Amino acid sequence: MMNIAAALILTLSIQTAPTVEARYAKGNNSQIVALLHMSSQSDQGCTSKYYSGQIVGVRYDDGDGVEIVSFGLRLADGQRERIYLDDDFYRRVQNADRGRLHTIFRKGQRVRVKVYLCGAGGNVATAHEVTALR
């Protein structure tokens, strides 16, 4: 009996990461214009930062080549940043939205990105929010 109670308490205490929220263009339910809650990490222990720029490349996984792993962003000053998607991003994004991710993650798309800078020296940028710019 005690083991069941302990398991129940443990189960209730585990927080699940929020589902990735996709926002669509007004009047166009096939064009993603923003993604929110992309990272399951909190900003604790990491620094948050905003970047704005143009996507210059999208990197897909080596397996089936369908899932996006990261994208390159050229900033206004010409610098380039590699922005990664969280490891569990595809487990948390809605199935209906997966097939439309290419509408925001495409070469030439201008975006504003909120990232968490984590890892040794804060040099790994993980996307938390992406918003398309005009």
Confirm whether 8 is domain-assigned: no
Confirm whether 4 is domain-assigned: no
Q: Which residues contact 26 (CB under 8 A, 6 or more apart)?
A: none
**Beta-bridge partners for 81:** 73
Confirm whether 77 is domain-assigned: yes
pLDDT band for position 123 (cuts 50, 70, 90): confident
Nearest to 82 by CA among 95, 96, 70, 90: 70
What's the CATH code of the domain at 86? Answer: 2.40.50.140
Q: Which residues contact 41 (CB under 8 A, 6 or more apart)?
A: 86, 116, 118, 126, 128
Q: Is the pLDDT of residue 63 over 80?
A: no
What is the span of the domain harbouring residue 30?
18-132
3-state secondary structure of 119: coil
Q: Are 124 and 118 in contact (CB under 8 A)?
A: yes
Q: Is the pLDDT of residue 11 over 80?
A: no
Predicted structure pTM score: 0.82
pLDDT band for position 6 (cuts 50, 70, 90): very low
